[in-house]
Chain A
Amino acid sequence: MSNGRQIRDLKLFPVARSRDRVVSARTPGTDSHSLNPLSTPKFRIANPRLELPAAHSRQSIQIPSDREFKQVFLTGFFPSSASHSRFSRPSRRTGYNLPPRRNSRPQAGYSREAVLLGALVLLVVLASFTAFASRLYHKTFHVLADQWFARGDRSFQAGNAAEALNDYRNALAYSPYNPQFQFHLARALAATGRQEEAEAYLLNLLSVSPGSGEINLELARSSARRKSGMAAALRYYQAAIYGEWDHDPLLMRWDVRRELSEYLLAHGTHIQAEPELIAMAENVPLTDIARQKLAGELLVRGQLWDRALAIFRSVLAADPRDPEALAGAGTAAFHLFEFPQTLDYLRKLPPEKRSDPSIAGMLETSEQVLADDPFPSGLSPQQKAARTARDLALAESRAEQCVSQRGESFGQNPPKSDLQKLLAQAAAMKAAWSERMLARFPERIHESIAVAFQMENAANVCGEPQGPDRVIWLLGQTSAGKAP
């Protein structure tokens, strides 16, 4: 191929659009070797409105030879002269994309319109294929993710948290942004004791859904497992209670509150637990017997006896024979010093429940209290007087022991301590408060038993009352034992 023809084929030279009219680059009166700047390719290239050649040859885009460099192009256009040998064959060693051999067969040229049309058609075809392939791809990955997730759920529910962890990880590999998968993975991590990793996932989820009740609850549980995580646990529990729940929000919030109450009671923080227990009791669904009983039990643990009794009564209204409700109501009534009610509830328990040591103790104490009670309406004046005199004597005896224990004297005049005053009063009224006189004058029973109750109360400075003294003290706490 002559240099002239090569020059003509070089696509840098503008020619007419028709592929058949290949006009020589040589303008009349000039030749391609001329240095006339107006006819050089550089000038033409600098005028972009000029059209590019219609005829196209793959060979025409090759780097010209050294000779053509010197003849056609200014040295500034190509910074370095190309060595012919470098472009002789593609380098196997380096794998670099070098132009083909210069003697390769030129390809048939296509008009630019045809190329553009072809490109657009190819774009549409490729886009359609990609759409189809990506749909299939996403579908396959979703199916795989769901399968691994289902497998993980089965393993988790079967108690195999380690295997569930592996399955959830695989599920996440196919659906990395699925929050449900991440959440379950976090739960599996927590179940396998990897709290920090679980928290990392949960915190990430929380940053996306800060109001999620579920996530806050898991974080609360995770924090609760840490020794110094109480403050964080409380924060997350509160966030979970007031957070968003997808299913049964009222019940979920109640459950979270119950869990929080249990947590606080377990840590001995009764004061902090009280408002939660009250709120829980206020919000317990009236038709949900199981939850009512749970609430009642927690209220008993929290020593909120009146509210516990109210809830258990509500349960007993629906099922008078419910053993847990009877036990709970009896316990609450006992601590409210309602001994007749205590006996009423506890005696309805089945024998196996009644043999429970705490139940048996409450039963026995309640019976003793009622046996010592001088105020039941069916008693004769003599029986009342006998009980009163006995109680008074017992209380006096305990008071004297306490006074001696404290190193105080009995007959100090004037008496200084409450116990001394009460003992002095009892001594002064000894004759009037004898059994015979009390049977004769029943109106004196209230006053004398009240002094007995006060002595038992005052003697508590020397320790808790035991045995019969305790019965008298309990009797004093009841409403019947208070001053009329």
Chain B
Amino acid sequence: MSESPRSVPPATPAVAPAPGSAERVRALWKKWTDQVFSMREGQFFLLLSVLIGVFSGLAVVCFRMAIDWTRLLLLGFSLTPSAPRVVVVPAAAGLVVGLLTLYVFRRVRGSGVNQTKAAVYVSNGYIPFSTVIGKFLICSLAIGSGQSLGPEDPSLQMGAGIASVIGRRLRLSQEKVRLIAPVGAAAGLAAAFNAPISSVLFVIEEVIGTWSAGALGAIVLAAVSSVVTMRSFLGSESLFRVPTFRMERPSELMGYVALGVVGGIASLLFLKWLGYARPHLEALPGWTKSFQPAISGLLIGFIGIWVPQVMGAGYPIIDQAMHGQYAWKILLLLAALKIVATGISFLSATPGGMFAPTLFIGAMLGGAVGGIEHHFFHSLTGTVGTFALVGMGTLFAGFLRTPITSVFMVIEVSGNYTAILPVMVSTMIAYLISRQYHKVPLFDMLARQDGLVLPSIEERREQVSLTVEDAMRADGAMVLDPAEPIADGLRRAERKPQAALLLYAKAEWRFVLRDELRRLATNSSSQSLAEAKTTGPLPILFRDQSLDEALRLAGDWPVLPVVSRANLATLEGVIALADILQAFRSSPQTGAIPTVS
């Protein structure tokens, strides 16, 4: 019996095994990265700025903690350490700082602001990550050991460095890599200062140097996300407590006028001293640079034996000054000694920032002026603390030459809009005094001493901005009517042989050659100027436009019409390439780079 063939079960189609969780994750990741990287670069840049902000915020949080920990370890738990400790610790730490700066982390000298600016304008946004590490370690040691410097400028540079690394690793276009450094700078500064608006303004004023920043949105996003990150770990309190600000009578503004004058003079003295001493110290032999931070630490230590308040960033002392803890004479002494100590620290090329010392000096000076005024005018409602608050902004404007940032910083830190009038008055006076007697701002001066010429918003403000109105000729053209008889048009044209002939037809301005007009006149079949051959349409200009724009449009056109914004058919004048060049030549801007005074 033959066996029936076994019934072979029908072949089942092969079922693909269910994707595991790892594969699902991988697929999700791929989908997400596809979405991210298919974005326009501008959109991706904005997303990246949030990431940069978070990274910078975390870095700054660690940096602030590192400074405090270093201070605890080196100087102990008390605000007034013992005398031997006060002298030995800054000197020893200075020695380590000097050696590290000279041999290990060679790019971390300076405050960080100019270095970031140079990265933007010279190195196309390139800041190596070793700079970030070096700045973190060395500045923690320097500031924590008592050098009279602040953490904000290094935070700015660290943020810029982090942004630069991220931008390069993600292979952004070169333009974006250049722009990303200021984004990171704003993030770092915002987290260090807990003041996002001021940080954005400072980066625009000082690092980018122009208000037409293409990355403004990214800068703001990065600053906000870094502040949010920082506040998540360190809380939202300000670096110092600000007293309630009151001003009952407008006449009290005179008190702040006096503060502005004093602040301006102090800024001037500080600038002159740095400007004079720095080149001399830089000219010393290279091997001395390893000892300069140690010597500065020693000098600051000696000052600190009697006045330990001048050591470090000084925020607790600012807080005390704001609450009337010191008599005006002590405040004046603290201001003077802080100028000395900060100058010593900075001139020794110890890495660290100028923000905190500037605020300290301003607070002490402001408090001193307030104390003196109270002594003579008891009816003043402004307390010593309110003068100290305004004083911070005053010196910020006079010394760092960032008036807009100064005003917003005081308002942001105090959370009180009442302070705006005194702050504006005082900062403007200090700024004007400082600018009048020291033409070059601080950071520009430092850059030029180092052989770099970096753009400056102050210089751009000084530049004469030429408009079309400065170059146009009101009577340089004659407008022909298309409906006009040719003979009439020719007759009118011959009365003004130098004028350009323009025709407005069909919402366009066109140029008519005189020869064409004459040709039409001899042709008996031509009736009106509408039949003329014209050149055009001509690009139009408005009188308020810049001459740069006019130059771009001038091209080979013989003239360009300048028309009214209210009615494009109304000709206000004409402008030619020769007119533009003549206006540029005769403008007062010489184009020379001002020398350091």
A: residues with CB less than 8 A from B are: 11-12, 45, 48-49, 51-53, 56, 58, 61, 63, 86-87, 90, 92-100, 110, 112-113, 115-117, 119, 123, 126-127, 129-131, 133-134, 137, 140-141, 144, 148, 166, 169-170, 172-173, 176-177, 196-197, 200-201, 203-204, 207
Contact across chains for B240 and A90 when beta carbons are under 8 A apart: no
Smallest CB-CB separation from B161: which chain A residue?
A97
- Does B152 sit at the interface, judged by CB under 8 A? no
> Given the complex, which residues of A lie within 8 Å of B115, measured CB to CB?
95-97
Contact across chains for B169 and A110 when beta carbons are under 8 A apart: yes
Q: Which of A45, A123, A172, A204 contacts B175 (CB 8 A)?
A: A45
> Given the complex, which residues of A lie within 8 Å of B233, measured CB to CB?
130-131, 134
B: residues with CB less than 8 A from A are: 29-30, 33, 36-38, 40-42, 51, 54-55, 58-59, 61-62, 65, 68-69, 72, 77-80, 101-102, 106-110, 114-115, 118-119, 122-124, 126-128, 131, 161, 166, 168-175, 177, 233-234, 237, 240-241, 243-244, 282, 286, 316, 319-320, 323-325, 349, 383-385, 450-452
Contact across chains for B170 and A203 when beta carbons are under 8 A apart: no
Q: A96-B452, A176-B237, A207-B244 are in contact. Are A134 and B65 (CB under 8 A)?
A: yes
Contact across chains for B58 and A197 when beta carbons are under 8 A apart: no
Contact across chains for A204 and B237 when beta carbons are under 8 A apart: no
> Given the complex, which residues of A lie within 8 Å of B122, measured CB to CB?
86, 96, 98
Top-9 shortest CB links A-B? A95-B109, A200-B324, A48-B41, A94-B450, A134-B233, A200-B323, A115-B169, A96-B118, A97-B127
CA distance A63 to B101 in the complex (A): 26
> Given the complex, which residues of A lie within 8 Å of B55, measured CB to CB?
119, 123, 126
> Given the complex, which residues of A lie within 8 Å of B323, measured CB to CB?
197, 200-201, 204
Tell me how far the C-beta of B195 lies from the nearest C-beta in chain A, rounded to whole angstroms: 17
Contact across chains for B123 and A97 when beta carbons are under 8 A apart: yes
Q: A90-B106, A95-B110, A123-B51 are in contact. Are A115 and B324 (CB under 8 A)?
A: no
Q: Which of A99, A123, A176, A196 contacts B240 (CB 8 A)?
A: A176
Smallest CB-CB separation from A86: which chain B residue?
B122
Contact across chains for A53 and B241 when beta carbons are under 8 A apart: no
Secondary structure type dominating chain A contacts: helix
CA distance A86 to B319 in the complex (A): 45
> Given the complex, which residues of A lie within 8 Å of B109, measured CB to CB?
94-95
> Given the complex, which residues of B lie within 8 Å of A177, measured CB to CB?
237, 241
CA distance A176 to B242 in the complex (A): 11
Q: A96-B450, A204-B243 are in contact. Are A170 and B78 (CB under 8 A)?
A: yes
Smallest CB-CB separation from A120: which chain B residue?
B51
Contact across chains for B79 and A169 when beta carbons are under 8 A apart: yes
Tell me how far the C-beta of B359 lies from the nearest C-beta in chain A, rounded to whole angstroms: 15
Smallest CB-CB separation from A96: which chain B residue?
B118
- Pick from A56, A63, A173 the residue with the most CB of B within 10 Å: A173
CA distance A460 to B145 in the complex (A): 83
Contact across chains for A119 and B174 when beta carbons are under 8 A apart: no
Smallest CB-CB separation from A207: which chain B residue?
B244
> Given the complex, which residues of A lie within 8 Å of B385, measured CB to CB?
200
CA distance A127 to B62 in the complex (A): 10
- Can you list 21 A-B pairs with a CB-CB distance of less than 8 A? A45-B173, A49-B38, A92-B106, A93-B450, A94-B452, A95-B107, A96-B115, A96-B118, A98-B118, A98-B122, A99-B126, A119-B55, A123-B54, A129-B62, A130-B58, A170-B79, A172-B316, A197-B324, A200-B384, A204-B243, A204-B323
> Given the complex, which residues of B lie within 8 Å of A173, measured CB to CB?
79, 316
Q: Which of B77, B108, B169 contacts A95 (CB 8 A)?
A: B108
> Given the complex, which residues of B lie within 8 Å of A144, measured CB to CB?
77
CA distance A117 to B30 in the complex (A): 11
> Given the complex, which residues of A lie within 8 Å of B102, measured CB to CB?
92
> Given the complex, which residues of B lie within 8 Å of A197, measured CB to CB?
323-325
Contact across chains for A96 and B107 when beta carbons are under 8 A apart: yes
Contact across chains for A93 and B383 when beta carbons are under 8 A apart: no
> Given the complex, which residues of A lie within 8 Å of B62, measured CB to CB?
126, 129-130, 133
Q: A45-B173, A97-B115 are in contact. List 11 more A-B contacts (CB 8 A).
A: A45-B175, A52-B172, A56-B169, A94-B452, A95-B109, A96-B107, A96-B114, A98-B122, A113-B29, A169-B320, A200-B323
Contact across chains for B108 and A204 when beta carbons are under 8 A apart: no
> Given the complex, which residues of B lie within 8 Å of A93, measured CB to CB?
282, 450
